[in-house]
Structure 1
Amino acid sequence: MLRILALLALLAPLVAGATDAATSAAKIVKQGNGKGAAPCMACHGVDGGGMEATGYPRLAGLDAAYLQRQLDDFANGTRANSVMQPNASALSEDERAALAKYYSAMPLPARFAKPATAPDAKGERLATRGDWSRELPGCVQCHAPGGVGVGASFPPLAGQPAAYIEAQLRAWQQGTRHNDPLALMQHVAKQLTPQEIQAVAGWFAAQPLPATGSTP
């Protein structure tokens, strides 16, 4: 009995710390941190689903390690963005980690379970098969069938606003974003025409996602 009580005493600070981190993340999402970081929901929505009209990405259900790396890269200047850099820089390392876990655990909004719209033939072809005459692999070879994402290095594309996907492809293409594994995305993006970028982005944005749970 004494051993159990001693173990519980050791675990209590860890449990309390996890609870405090979750509470802190929820507060930052709704109110900011009072140190320069704005409320996350102002751009990424109350449900973490992003904003299609403005191209702000979905965060709900994304891999925690991927989210934390992006926040860290914004904070240290590895990834450039005029909105995210000052906000991420105003967050402590613990706050960035807490936010990554918070959004990773957030269920996908039901609206992402919508049926896929009529696919764009060019976008579908490039997304699923690529064009090997240009050494261009299909996007799903890294981002998984349907674009649901794989782990910390290959985020989901399905359910992201088309404008966001387009903006990232242009950033890879122009070299203003370069935090990809082995420069894979820079190679891929440089092979695409503006019309192809638009077609691929539109195809992935139209793909449905499960209504509940986290991104696989």
Structure 2
Amino acid sequence: MLIRITWRRAILTLLVLAAGALLFAWSGIFNIAASGGHWAITNWVLHGVMRNSVRTHSLLVEAPPPLDDIALKARGAGHYASGCAPCHGAPGEPQNPIIQRSTPHPPDFSESLDDWTPKELFRIVQHGVRYTGMPAWIVPERRDEVWAMVAFLEALRDMEPEEYRRLAYGAEAPRQPPGSSAGIGGLGTPPAEVLADCARCHNRDGQGRDGAAFPVIAGQNEAYLLQALRAFADGSRHSGIMQPPAARAGDEALRALAAHYAAQPRQPVPQSFDPALLAEGERIARQGMPENQVPACLSCHGAEALARNPSWPRLDGQHAPYLEGQLALWREGLRGGGPYHRIMQTVASRLTPEQAHAVSAWFASQGGGE
């Protein structure tokens, strides 16, 4: 018997199939339980689609910075321990058994890391993976933070447990029980000791570690520190690394943290610069650039100005790369936070990268404030 296929019959067939699919979905017969897992062919298809998508979209990612930079790796490690290890594990710290019951199962980096290129890792970290538990970066525009995570992941492939603990916890490693970073509690609950959470990266003395990985916050104005922490917590100052710990700490703890670090003695970081560079930076800091409507930096960041308004930050003795990086974020409109952020965004936009480099070097070279 020969059945003729007509447009009417084709459309009717499609409508019947669509109605059947809707009825199947409405019935609740399909088992969505994570305990059931995926069929092998489903895993194969989904993983293939994901890899192809990442490979294609990563073609648009810019060339990575030097990924062997210890500062980049340290910044990535600090976030990885609290934000990633609970799902992916870490060297010497296997995945939590609860995570192993999820579908799809997150890869266990305590055992191996798939052969992704740096650009592909960047794409995954920045945007996450749909239909899995892999989230996008909180502030996808902060490409510098995403590259820090990629630098750490690249190093993670051959990392020994001792080096992981040093990078992830710094001086707090002896106080951190082995395996605790992979605990499921790290996903949402505040740490028992908030200071220990901050000290993993900033140290208890506020001097930071691993070169210019973290800013010097010792001796910073208490009002400014509290303002910055609150801005991180509510997301008005944009950082995928700082927002989670600040948000989970609570305002009372943020007040205590600001008071603690403001009370620490400030020790300028040893740095050397070309005298001509310092002279140019001092000129901008003291005189500004009237031709570009840039005020003298010291009109807000000098000792007299800071005494009038402690909500402005101290810049003397800070890491030059940190100051330069912050000016770049201002210039690109990516920093935010605080009541004066639009002023700084305007000022930074009127400085060339060379001028920002010079003035950052000059402030870094100052030991006792101006």
TM-score norm. by structure 2 comes to 0.44
Q: Following the alignment from structure 1 to structure 2, what is the Cα–Cα distance between the partners of residues 170 and 149?
A: 27
Is the contact made by 1:146 and 1:207 (CA closer than 8 Å) also made in structure 2?
A: no
Deviation at 1:180, TM superposition (A): 4.4
Q: CA RMSD in A?
A: 3.1
Structure 2 equivalent of residue 64 of structure 1: 222
Q: Following the alignment from structure 1 to structure 2, what is the Cα–Cα distance between the partners of residues 146 and 206?
A: 19
Of 69-78 and 136-145, more deviation after overlay is shown by: 136-145
Deviation at 1:127, TM superposition (A): 1.1
Deviation at 1:57, TM superposition (A): 1.1
Residue 284 of structure 2: which of 126, 138, 141 is its match? 126
Structure 2 equivalent of residue 135 of structure 1: 293
Of 39-48 and 129-138, more deviation after overlay is shown by: 39-48
Residue 156 (str. 1) matches residue 314 (str. 2): yes
Deviation at 1:152, TM superposition (A): 3.0
Is the contact made by 1:50 and 1:58 (CA closer than 8 Å) also made in structure 2?
A: yes
Q: Secondary structure at the match of 2:315?
A: coil
Give structure 1 stretches of 5+ with no counterpart: 1-28, 211-215
Is the contact made by 1:147 and 1:158 (CA closer than 8 Å) also made in structure 2?
A: no
Q: Deviations over 1:129-185 (max 9, x none)?
A: 111011111100111159977633311110111111111111111111223445211
Structure 1 equivalent of residue 101 of structure 2: none
Deviation at 1:93, TM superposition (A): 1.1
Q: Following the alignment from structure 2 to structure 1, what is the Cα–Cα distance between the partners of residues 358 and 269?
A: 21
Q: Secondary structure at the match of 2:200?
A: helix
Structure 2 equivalent of residue 196 of structure 1: 355
Residue 185 (str. 1) matches residue 344 (str. 2): yes
| Counterpart AA for 1:170 | A
Of 140-149 and 67-76, more deviation after overlay is shown by: 140-149
Structure 1 equivalent of residue 257 of structure 2: 99
| Counterpart AA for 2:235 | G
Q: Following the alignment from structure 1 to structure 2, what is the Cα–Cα distance between the partners of residues 114 and 167?
A: 18
Q: Following the alignment from structure 1 to structure 2, what is the Cα–Cα distance between the partners of residues 202 and 147?
A: 20
Rate the CA distance shift 1:72–1:157 in 2: closer, same or farther, 3 A: same
Structure 2 equivalent of residue 90 of structure 1: 248
Structure 2 equivalent of residue 21 of structure 1: none
| Counterpart AA for 2:351 | L
Give structure 2 stretches of 5+ with no counterpart: 1-170, 177-189
Of 178-187 and 200-209, more deviation after overlay is shown by: 178-187
The percent of aligned pairs where both chains have the same amino acid is 36
Is the contact made by 1:120 and 1:203 (CA closer than 8 Å) also made in structure 2?
A: yes
Residue 328 of structure 2: which of 146, 156, 170 is its match? 170
Structure 2 equivalent of residue 24 of structure 1: none
Q: Secondary structure at the match of 1:39?
A: helix
Rate the CA distance shift 1:189–1:51 in 2: closer, same or farther, 3 A: farther
Structure 2 equivalent of residue 20 of structure 1: none
| Counterpart AA for 1:176 | L
Residue 47 (str. 1) matches residue 182 (str. 2): no
- Number of aligned residue pairs: give it: 181
Bigger Rg, structure 1 or 2: 2
